[in-house]
Structure 1
Amino acid sequence: MRSFSCRLCDSPLFFDNSLCVSCGTALGFSRGERDIVPVDPEGQYVDLAGLVWHVCVNLNLSGCTWLAAIEGEQCEACDLTRIRPAATDLVGMAQFPAAESAKRHLVVELDTLGFDITGLVFDMRSSSEAAGEDVVIGHADGVITIDLAETDDARRERIRQELGEPYRTLLGHLRHEVGHYLQSQLVTPADPDLLARCRELFGDETADYQAEIDRHYSQGPPSGWEDSYITTYATMHPFEDFAETFAHYLHISDTCETASAYGLGTVDVSAFSVFRDLVLAVWVPLSVALNQINRSMGKADVYPFVIPDPVLDKLDFVAGLARRG
């Protein structure tokens, strides 16, 4: 993500800041300007077109810092959430802000890359004892379902280890599931050439999904999977290969943008028209450096993956969809 600074005192800001800690100015995020802007004591901001924007009504509920078009109403990011925990579910409501923060991050990066998510909604469901619900993370028909228990670091790490996953984060879940959504919207029989190229890279998505799941969990990934896939989960089904690849496209794009914004890279990321070239020239050396920095702090690698040549082709394909979305 890009860097932000206070328009009044020029101090650095974080994406979720609602207040500048240096000068005390109240803040809000303008989706239209893709920037953090100052709001007045009434919680209002007037843009260059003279339109008045208001602090989102969910600021204190979910920590939402976005601006809404109507006073006392919620913003466009909050409008995307179709289901949230009941007010009586104290555990679920305590987990809700972290999930909403990750969702807002996702929306901004999709906006930046040029993807249209009109029609997409999120069900932020609680699997707490109070909710009494088993929640399965996934995407179906434009609805992304998230289990709010994934905001619990200890629980998420335990599951990551049990499943043998190298990486598991809430933002990662969202990036994966939005890949499913965008594939359903952008790679369709309406463009037979695009669909054919997708099948050439990822396989035939009409393969029986349940049968492939059963095969994956009974037999594991095929021998030599690391030569053609980014993760073992990607080997399960062409849909999952696409979604995993799309998630890594977002991992790489966002981290490269952040590194560039904070002076950690010496190469202009906007200079690359081919995503493969960005990966090889910027991401590979950057991820190695970031992994080494983490190891210097006794932490696990930031990016514990190796990108084989066929995955570079897949990344190129999903990156090209930004011009269509």
Structure 2
Amino acid sequence: MRAFRCRVCDNQLFFENSVCVSCGTALGYSREERAIVPVDEQGRYVDAAGLVWHVCANLGLSGCTWLAPLEGGLCFSCTLTRTRPSDDDLVGLANFPLAEQAKRHLIVELDTLGFAIVGKDPAAGGDEENGLAFDLLSSVEENVVIGHENGVVTIDLAESDDAYREKVRASLAEPYRTMLGHFRHEVGHYYEWQLVQGEELMTRCRELFGDESKDYQAEIDRHYAEGPPEGWEQEYISTYATMHPFEDFAETWAHYLHIADSIETAREFGLVTVGGIGAFSTFRDLVTGVWVPLSTALNQMNRSMGKDDVYPFVIPARVLDKLEFVASLAPVREPVGQNQV
């Protein structure tokens, strides 16, 4: 996550700011410029090309600060949400903003890494068959299973509630559980579906993660009946990754995003002096040379505050191989807005 500054008074800004607390300027996030920009009293921003952008219509509903191409319209992030809580579901609506905030964060990091994001709505230039969409559902009104199927990511909005999420985390003996983590994991299923194609990639993926044709339900039943295999720590990043090759890939993908985004954030705020994740010849070098010492220091800082570790995981050699494969799927192209100001 970048360090942002107000273009009017140069005060430091944070990603979700809708107003500069120093000078009072109203703000919006421009995905095209990858910057927080000032908007006028009507919520408009005129870019360098003369195009007029407008504050997203969901500002009041979900706290969205992104800019939309049409007045009264939705920004790119909000158009990806296919389903949201009904207006009479007060609990679901209260949990909705945190989920949307996590989704916006996810989109920014995918943009930074250069991954294409295409929605499903053909009217908005999307791909109905291969595009990405999100169903953000409230388990107040129905049973919700977090997952991915054919480009649709389903998230249970109850996970926005800290107490509920911590209860589930403890009951499953998970070291880490966050809303952003859910988005990162589930979108990993989507990108495996879209990017791991062709004989060479499929063969290497199976060598690392296993045969994806294994019966998924049978593997889930085995996992919850027997637990992870003995010695799993040498092969997997988490016990959940041992469940099925699809879950191993998604867990590894999520950790790829955890690591890449955390290092970029640390670099933006001067905590590390590396040239960014693209400055390393392999992702393995980035992990061993930067992430391991950085995460160790961050864990010790948290312990100094009496808190749990920021990154409560160990990365064995086999997982490094998997992370290297996932990182190799990043497109060789400029991220959105890289050369814009």
TM-score bracket relative to the smaller structure? over 0.9
Match of 1:262 among 266, 269, 291: 269
Matched to 1:45, the amino acid is Y
SS of equivalent to 1:323: coil
- 2:87 corresponds in structure 1 to 87
1:127 aligns with 2:139: yes
- 1:180 corresponds in structure 2 to 189
- 1:45 corresponds in structure 2 to 45
Matches within 5 A, 1:63-212: 63-118=63-118, 119-128=131-140, 131=141, 133-188=142-197, 191-212=198-219
Output one character per residue of 1:270-309: Cα deviation in whole Å (capped at 9) or x when no partner: 4213111000010000000000010111110000000000
Matched to 2:239, the amino acid is T
SS of equivalent to 1:322: coil
1:151 is displaced (CA, Å) by 0.4
1:135 is displaced (CA, Å) by 0.3
- 1:284 corresponds in structure 2 to 292
Match of 1:275 among 270, 273, 283: 283
Q: How many positions carry a matched residue from both structures? A: 320
Separation (CA, whole Å) in 2 of partners of 1:117 and 1:144: 13
Q: Which runs of 5+ in 2 are unaligned?
A: 119-130, 334-341
RMSD: 1.0
Output one character per residue of 1:156-212: Cα deviation in whole Å (capped at 9) or x when no partner: 001101000000000000000000000000112xx1101111111111111111111
Say which is worse superposed, 267-276 or 32-41, in terms of deviation. 267-276
Contact residue 26 and residue 40 of structure 1 kept, 8 A: yes
1:324 is displaced (CA, Å) by 6.6
- 1:2 corresponds in structure 2 to 2
* TM value normalised by structure 1: 0.97
Separation (CA, whole Å) in 2 of partners of 1:268 and 1:292: 24
Matched to 2:64, the amino acid is C
Output one character per residue of 1:33-80: Cα deviation in whole Å (capped at 9) or x when no partner: 011011011111011111000000110110000000000111111000
Matched to 2:217, the amino acid is Q
Output one character per residue of 1:235-293: Cα deviation in whole Å (capped at 9) or x when no partner: 11000000000000000000000000001113222421311100001000000000001
Separation (CA, whole Å) in 1 of partners of 2:138 and 2:216: 26
Separation (CA, whole Å) in 2 of partners of 1:79 and 1:266: 37
- 2:304 corresponds in structure 1 to 296
* TM value normalised by structure 2: 0.93
Separation (CA, whole Å) in 2 of partners of 1:319 and 1:7: 34
Separation (CA, whole Å) in 1 of partners of 2:297 and 2:113: 25
Matched-pair identity in %? 71
SS of equivalent to 2:117: coil
Separation (CA, whole Å) in 2 of partners of 1:73 and 1:28: 14
SS of equivalent to 1:154: helix
Separation (CA, whole Å) in 2 of partners of 1:73 and 1:266: 40
1:17 aligns with 2:17: yes
Separation (CA, whole Å) in 2 of partners of 1:214 and 1:124: 26
SS of equivalent to 1:287: helix
Matched to 1:5, the amino acid is R
SS of equivalent to 2:219: helix
Contact residue 287 and residue 303 of structure 1 kept, 8 A: yes
- 1:240 corresponds in structure 2 to 247
Q: Which runs of 5+ in 1 are unaligned?
A: none
Runs of 4+ in structure 1 displaced over 4 angstroms? none
Separation (CA, whole Å) in 1 of partners of 2:303 and 2:238: 22
